[in-house]
Amino acid sequence: MSVMRNVLLAGSESHWLRHQAPRLKFVKKAVMRFMPGERAEDALDAAASLRQLGIASVLTHLGENISDPSEAARVRQHYLDVLAKIKLTGLDCQISVKLTQLGIDVNEGQCRASLRALVEQAAALGAFVWIDMEQHGYVDRTLALYRQVLGEFPNVGVCLQSYLYRTPADVASLVPLGGGIRLVKGAYKEPGDVAYPKKSDVDASFLTLAKQMIAPAARAAGLRAVFGTHDLRIIRAIQDHAEGSGVPRDAYEFDLLYGIQREEQARLARDRYRVRVLISYGDYWFPWYMRRLAERPANVLFVAKSIFSG
Ligand code: FDA
């Protein structure tokens, strides 16, 4: 792992930085490259613009690790309101939630009830709910809640990270359930005994798992197969594999983050692949932004440049 990535990921966990950095105007300006604004309405406006390009969207309200139960209740209500707003716009727009934000550390029963309420409301409105994956200590609890809710409603999916050694076993056990899997490489700083330290291993694992997610058994189970990546080599490899195996373009989806690889987002849509952009909004963006920088330290340059461009 590069020194820069380590420094940025450590920074994402710093309380002092979390409170100071968002006050700086230039930091805020740099962040706007990756998020259209702090309000749900800003995200919905961006989703409407993306629709013009044939790109669907998924909204996420930034925040994590809630320690106050009333805050978790506010997050739940916020997402219920957002689902209603999405319905009014008629957009193909999903939501993606973090269980720490729904209070899994405070009261797991209440977190389950909140997740269930969101998925139930989404089902009634014809929408879909994704569960983000967080640090490795949350995987078992996250998958347990996912299985419970999926037992009642089909419109829910979970994110899995190819950097974890356990993920092949998780994919094998979840695929037969249908539902949805959004495969990503993984964004957190994880120890070498749970996650591949080498990027080449993370990439290789991603491709192997992606192939399993569009294999005949997964398609027969009705799995919603989503690949959350900006890695053009991996995107092309999945496309080639699907083409060679007779898997149609509408049998899987590529999801990318707002503001990253915009050209590729548009190209995928033009080439009639399913493509969706995850739009983050909210005022709790500092740790999230630091993780985006860690993914591509060259982005630090954008921050540096915006200091000088006012
Ligand atoms: P990689 O990091 O190898 O990047 C490939 C190329 O993409 C780079 O060379 C660069 O060109 C471009 N790129 C990547 N990141 C960039 C950036 N920040 N700025 C500019 N260019 C960039 N993680 C997690 O742990 N839990 C989760 O729930 C999710 N959810 C999620 C949803 C969606 C839709 C996406 C796209 C990603 C996530 N992630 C996530 C994040 C994921 O784990 C991973 O950290 C990032 O996607 C970066 O990895 P890539 O696959 O893009 O490849």
Say yes or no: CB of residue 181 within 6 Å of ligand 1: no
CATH of the domain at 68: 3.20.20.220
**Region for 63 from its dihedrals, namely left if φ exceeds 0, alpha if ψ lies in -120 to 50, beta otherwise:** left
8 A C-beta contact, residue 264 and residue 230: yes
Domain-located, residue 1: no
- Tokens of residue 294, six digits: 């860690």
Q: By residue range, what is the domain housing residue 120?
A: 36-281
**CA–CA distance, 30 with 302 (Å, rounded to integer):** 7
- Ligand 1 lined by 145 (C-beta under 6 Å): no
Assigned domain for 7 exists: no
Q: Is residue 310 part of a domain?
A: no
Does 40 reside within a domain?
A: yes
- Best of 158, 229, 268 to mutate for ligand 1, by most ligand atoms within 8 A of CB? 229
Looking at ligand 1, which atom is closest to the CA of residue 185? 43
Q: Could you read off the pLDDT of 70-90 as tens digits, one per residue?
A: 989 999 999 999 999 999 999
As a whole number of angstroms, the distance between CA 58 and CA 256 comes to 10
What distance in angstroms lies between residue 107's CA and the mean position of ligand 1's atoms?
30
- DSSP assignment string, 223-235: -EEEEE---HHHH
The Cα 60–Cα 83 span in angstroms is 11
Confidence (pLDDT) at 283: 78
Task: Determine, yes or no, domain membership for 207.
Answer: yes
Q: Is residue 16 part of a domain?
A: no
Does the residue 104 lie in any domain? Answer: yes
Please tell me the pTM assigned to this model.
0.90
Residue 50 inside a domain? The answer is: yes
User: Tokens standing for 249?
Assistant: 């373009």
Burial bucket for residue 2 (CB in 10 Å: 0-12, 13-18, 19+) = exposed
Ligand 1 pocket test, candidate residues 55, 183, 255, 296, most atoms within 8 A of CB: 296
pLDDT digits (tens, 9 = 90+) for 119-164: 999 999 999 999 999 999 999 999 999 999 999 999 999 999 999 9
Number of domains in the chain: 1
